[in-house]
Each structure stands twice: as structure tokens, then as C-alpha cells.
Structure 1
């Protein structure tokens, strides 16, 4: 890499890491936030849900806006909004103000993540350097989720939950100050307006689906609001497909969704994020409800998982370069599934912590191989003019996976636990969900590898084609 590429990489990776931290930094601080601002126990989940809904629902839209109107501009605007909304959250004195700040943080994340990833993929030509950059990005994104839990516990215990917001402000300010001189962006000549019908249907569909799944995870599938939201989301997403077929300038061109690498690469990403984030949720229940750990101790225990994701991320780019994206996805999925299924043996004594630490480290390595394989596969073989769309799809996949995984695995655990609250009952529910989790990873990675293998053979680096690297004007 050139010196400039290293600086660009540092800026973009630092920003993506901060965004990832925001997903989880408040999780262990939720009781403190609720006590400080007067949230009821039933409404506490909306502190996390408000962020996740806005991020998952609007990512695809912002990814296409980045392609049409400039990724650099959207990235800088998103970072500015993230800094301002974080300051608002830290200064909040009522639940309404805090939830507004979380929605704005989610919107900022929906803008920054695909724009930043598109700037990253267009800064490096398709091949080993891009694989390495995406591997590092994946490692830091996953490490960010874990770091958020640790950092949230430390800041809340040592200072105040408000610092979980304030810590973003100087980082966002530095990114806004440095980005104009460091980042370069292709100027896109737009012949079409934004596909508003497509934007409305896909954004509404994703929001409704995410809301329904979140409600179902908390209230069960008998909740009529949850069922109506899921049905409405499915209807809107089906409508989105028909809208795109008839649109002169579709938000997601049909030709993109016909690409085997895009479809199945994103399927691998959905599996990776849904299973790993829900596993963290299940193990949080185990550590706190079965072993009696505090929130801070729980957060620190997940530091081992973060170390595993960093190792997997550094190995991921090399694995894709040597074995190809398909083999990396399969290998990562098998390793993650094997590590996860070993957790079925967990018991009620503290000695089982050693198994948890070893399994989460190895599983973190496997999960990150799966994530890097997904990201490289899902963004390969596309021109620079469509990288915002490709990375928007990939980012949406990550966020939908995060929203989807926890309610599903929570429902599995609740079905086994029933009304019991004793450690043995909680352990029974957790291990049942862990077993389902491992089977989903294994079956999903096998299916993706099979589907990718049926297409045209990829070359040694795992790419099915080469994207043009346009430094000048791109026409949409």
C-alpha cells in the first residue's frame, strides 16, 4: 500500500469501528440508562431497537444515494450527524430525547457504513490489496461489537453511561476534519432521479420486518402487532421486487440480483451476523443468569471473542487470496459451527468458563473467515459505479442479520425454558438455542458453498470477474 492508501484505510477503518461499537456500547449500560432517565423495564429494549431499526431500514437507500450523489459527501455528512446525535444522546434528560438521538445515530450509521465501504473498495483495485483491506474492515467491525460491550461496561462503571455517547464526538470530529483532504471520490453523472417508489417499499419493508421480529422476540409470536408487522414487511418487499422490474432507474437493478456472487455472498453474510450476534446474546444469559456474572465481567469475558475476530480478520484476506471466496466461506462456517456446538456441554459451575472462552475464540476466528469471504464475494466483479449499491446490500445484510438473529434464538431458548427462571432452566434453553445456532451455521455455509460452486468457476483469488477501476467520471 502507498502512504496515502494507508491513511485512507486508517480513516475508514476507524470510522467503521466506531459505528460497530455503537451497536453494542449501550447494551450492558441499559439498566443504568433506564434508571437515570426513567425508562420502564418494558421500554428499555427500545434504546437498542430504535438504533437498529433506523440502521437496517435505511442502509440500502443510503448506499444508492452514495452512488448517485457522491460517497465522500455522504460519508462526511453521516459522520457529522453521528457526532451531533451522540452529543444529543449524552446530554439527554428525557426518554424521548434519548430515543431521538438513537434514531439519528442509526440513520448516520446507515449513511456512513455503505459510503465508507464503497470508498474502501474503490480505493483498492480488486485483488490481494482489496481482500486485505476488507479483511481488516471485517475484523474491526466484529471486534467493534465486542469492544462496545467491554467499553460500555467500563465507561458506565467508572464514569457514567453518558460517556458511551460522548466518546463518539471527538472521533467523529476528527473524521470530518480529515476526510476532505484524504478521500477522493469519482464524480457520478446521474441521468436518472432516485427511484422513490423502490426506496419507499424497500425501506418500509425492512423497517416493518425488523420491527415485527424485534416485537416477536420480546412478546412472542402470538403478539398481533409482531405478526402484522412481519406480514406487512413481506408484502412491501415483494412489492419492491415488482417496482424494480418496471423502474427506469431501479434502486437495485435486476441484473445485480441475478449475480450468483451477490445473492449467495449476501446469504453467507446474513448467516454469519445472525448467528454470531445471537450467540453473544445467549452467552450473556448464560454468564449472568446461570453463572451470576456482573455486566462488567460479562463484557470482559467477550474480549476473548473479540481477539478471535481480529485473528480471523487478519487471516481472512490471505485465505480468500489463496483458496478463494467459496472455500473461505465453507471453512469459516465449519469452524464456527464446530466451536459453537461444543458449547452445548456447558454446565452450571464456574469451571465451564474455560470452555466458553476457548470456544468463543475459535468461533470468532471461523466467523470472521465467513464474514471476509462474504464481503469479498458480494462486492467482486462489479464496476466502481455500483460499489455503493453492492456495499449497501452487504451492510443491509449485516444489520438485518443482527436484528433477525436475537429474536429467533431468543424464541428458541424461551420455548425450551418455559416459565422457569432457575439456573438449570435457563441453561436448558440456552443450550437448545446454541445447538440450533450451530446447525444453522453449518447448513447455511454448506448451501452457500454448493450454490457458488454451481456457477462459473472463480479464479484463484475467489473473484468471478474484475471490476474496472475508474478514476474519473462514472455514468449511472
Structure 2
């Protein structure tokens, strides 16, 4: 069925895609927007840097820890139902955060926001997979998702500066409430409710161990910069997370209906694609943060102009993403993926070498950011296509949870590692001025280039299974009716 043609019940796939892509825009924007507002939060609520860091970190921990559970819950309970539930949790928590009188309340609200975001993100991606069968239509849909993700990162930075300057930091959270209300009103009209697996039963032990294990790993990663990589808190979180994930692996082999069937994880294409998704985010996510920081702290730009400096990159993403499907059809998935990671490597390397303490935006950031704008949708779309290519209709939520978890942990790990590299390099030089800060940024971006180069080499090993097109896809969005 061609995109945009009417579906059963008069629902249009194109309208549904617009809704799901807008959800992706809102969730990515929410990840970025609060970072710009943090200094104003500290001034208003009287919090130091340690407390403020957890306003951002609380969201990342619950978001990363619950994606896998959210994806499987969507398969079993219904994708639209979990999508709406996630939006509801996100909206209520955003309202509580917008009215918070203390940092403690705000941190708690941000943690609950992460819960809602995880449920909504996993269900939205699964709805997209069910809506568009594997092939050119899905490639175009994933291109739209990638475009909205790239745009959301920049819009979050820009709107964070504008709203904080004009209306105060609380308006950044109330923007979420408005966005959620719009999406929640449209979802029942545009999304089919018959989107749940015929399988029944829920793996409580697997859900608890996987969620707690992933949550502890996220806690260790986001707190490593503050506590130190070898601190008791960081090592304890890593050890606890690994023990719980090991227990999860044992449980999954012994129960009838596991949260993640071991046979799924034995698929080589899925494993490699999730690894590549993580590597992509380990380079891309911290790049946005480091470039914004360079523009503000070295080139002395305001937060608003620091965000606007990433606008050309986002415009290239929006222009490139819809054409990624055509490139896949022409070159093949593996060749397009390798091209994307090669461009990512070249863009990161060029950016690292171009940064200068006495530079300007045009002389340092603009040209390499345009290369990165082309690379971003190529790597995001191709890794998502590969990670979900052999997912059966009843596994779309699971596939969504896995790839989203890989991307989220890649983002968190990449940010933690690259910020640690930048800080260590700057401190080693004495941290006496812009030149030392620039050297730290250059070192971090070079490490990001290494991640991209590793992914480019690994992409040569990608082999799509012969059975990719063998899974039947229903005319409806999903499986058994609710």
C-alpha cells in the first residue's frame, strides 16, 4: 500500500507518520531544551551545579532504563495504548516540573518525564514499523524520523534560549504540556488501535532485572563526570548493573515467555545494527553539546546564538533525510551505511582540526557541520532499517526498544567519555584560557572520529538475512485486535 493512501477506518499513513515524527521531535527537543535553562533554574531555586546536573540526568536514567520494557509492553498491551499512556505520564510530569518550588521536586518530575518519554518513544517507533512494511516506504518514514530528531536537537537549544530569556525556565516545561495535549487529541483519530501481539503473559522478573540493570548503568555513566570514573559510587553502579543484567540473561533462558527471547539476540544482523546505532550516537550526541559549548565559552556567543550555530546542520539533515531511502534503493543498505559513517568520520575529523581559539563560526564550525548534517540521517536511517529489518509484526515493540536503548546508551556513554576527554586535556594544559579549552574540545572530537571510523569498518560486516521480506505484514497497523 502506498504511503498516503487511505487505510481501514479512513486513517492516512501519511497523517499518522506526521504525528509520530512530531512525537520524535518533541522528545528529542525535551532532551536538549532543559540544558539551556539550567543556569536560570539554579538562580531561581538556589541550587548548585551538583543539583542542577541531576535535573538533566534524572531524565536520561529513566529514559534509557525503561526503553526496552516500554517496547515489550507496547507489543503486549497495544502500541497506541502505551503511546497514549506515555504521553499522559510525560504531560503530567512536565506540569509538575513547571510548577516545582524546589530542585528536589524538579528532579523527581524529570525522572517521571523519562518514564513517559520511554513508553511514548518505544511505542511510536513500533507504530511506525507496523505502519510501513520493510522496503522503500519504511526507508522514507525512517528518514522523516531522522529529520525530526536532528531538528529537535537544534530547536531544543534555540527554544531553550528564547523561552528562558522571554518567559523564564518554567515555560520550557509547559511547552511539553502543550505538545502532549495536541498529540494526545490527534492520536486516537490517526493511529489504529489494533496494534498488539497475540502473545500473552509478561516476564516480571526479566522486566525488573533489565530495567534496574540498565538504570544502574545509566546512573553510573551520567554521574561519572561528577563522582569520578574510579569512585566507589561509579564502580558500584556499574557492578550492580552488570550483575542485574547477568541475572536477566539467565532468567530469559529459563522462562516460557521472556521479555527478550534469546533467539532474537542471536540474530547477527540485529546485534551488529544495534552496536552501530550506539557508535553513531557516541559520536553525534556529544558533538552537538561540544560545538554549542565551544561557540559559547571560546567564541563568546550567547546561548541563543550558540544554538543557532547548529541550525545550518539541521537544515541539511532535514533536506537529506527524505532522500535517504532513494539512496538506499540505488546503492544498497550496506553501501549507504558505510558512506554515512565515512562522512561522519570525515566531518568529526575536519571539525576537530578546524577548531581554533581565535576562530569564527564560519572559519571553524560551518563547513564541517554541513558534512555532519549529511552523515546524520544516513547513519540513523540505515542502522534503524538494519536493526528492525527482520522483526516480525509481534516483535516491533521489542525491536524498537532494543534500538532505542542502544541509541540512548550510546548517547550517554559518548557524552560521558568525550566530556571526560575534553576536561582531562584542558586540565593537563593548565586550564588557563580559551586555547586550553579549545585543545580539550579538539581531543574529544578526535575520539568521536575514532568511534565513527570504527563503525565505518564494522559496517562492511553487515549481512541482511534472506528472510527479511518473508514476514507477512497485515493491512492493519499491527497484529491482533485489542
**Is the structural similarity TM-score above 0.5?**
yes
- Do structure 1's residue 136 and structure 2's residue 158 form an aligned pair? no
| Equivalent position of 1:382 in the other structure | 391
Q: Once the 2 structures are TM-superposed, how far is the Cα of residue 40 of structure 1 from its aligned partner? A: 1.4
CA change 1:328–1:411 in 2 (3 A) is same
User: Which residue is 1:359 aligned to?
Assistant: 368
- Displacement of 1:72 in angstroms is 0.7
Matches within 5 A, 1:69-468: 69-186=77-194, 188=196, 191-345=199-353, 346-351=355-360, 353-418=362-427, 419-447=430-458, 449-453=459-463, 464-468=468-472
**RMSD of aligned C-alpha atoms?**
1.9
Q: Is the 8 A contact 1:337 1:441 kept in 2?
A: yes
1:26 is paired with a residue whose SS is helix
Q: Deviation at 1:288?
A: 2.1
User: What is the rounded CA distance, in whole Å, between the counterparts of 2:339 and 2:345 in structure 1?
Assistant: 10
Higher mean C-alpha deviation, range 247-256 or range 418-427: 418-427
C-alpha separation in 1, matches of 2:349 and 2:21: 32
* Cα distance between partner residues in 1 of 2:196 and 2:80: 12
**Range moving further from structure 2, 72-81 or 276-285:** 276-285
Note the residue ranges of structure 2 that are not aligned, 5 or more in a row. 7-11
What does the per-residue CA deviation read over 1:378-422, in whole Å, with 9 as the maximum and x for residues that have no partner? 111221110010011111112111211111111111221125141
Q: How far is 1:334 from its partner? A: 0.3
| Structure 1 unpaired stretches of 5+ | none
Instruction: Give, in angstroms, the shift of residue 193 of structure 1.
Output: 2.1
Inter-CA distance 228–66: structure 2 relative to 1 (3 Å threshold): same
More displaced stretch, 227-236 vs 51-60 = 227-236
For residues 361 and 187 of structure 2, what CA distance do their matches in structure 1 show? 47
Task: Please tell me whether the aligned partners of residues 75 and 197 of structure 2 are also in contact (alpha carbons under 8 angstroms).
Answer: no
SS in 1 for 2:202: coil
User: What is the CA distance between 1:282 and its match in structure 2?
Assistant: 1.9
Aligned residues: 469
Deviates more, 1:157-166 or 1:106-115: 157-166
CA distance, structure 1, for counterparts of residue 180 and residue 155 of structure 2: 18
**What TM-score do the two structures reach when normalised by structure 2?**
0.93
Q: What is the CA-CA distance between 1:239 and the residue it aligns to?
A: 2.1
Q: Which moved more, 1:315-324 or 1:224-233?
A: 315-324
Please tell me whether the aligned partners of residues 33 and 161 of structure 1 are also in contact (alpha carbons under 8 angstroms). Answer: yes
Any conservation in 2 of the 1:126–1:467 contact (CA below 8 Å)?
A: no
Q: Please, what TM-score do these two structures have when normalized by structure 1?
A: 0.94
Change (3 A) 1:219 1:189: closer
What is the CA distance between 1:293 and its match in structure 2? 1.7
Is the Cα–Cα contact under 8 Å of residues 29 and 156 in structure 1 kept in the other structure? yes
Contact 1:64–1:251 (CA<8 Å) still a contact in 2?
A: yes
CA contact (8 A) 2:128 2:141 kept: yes
CA distance in 2 between partners of 1:387 and 1:134 (Å): 14
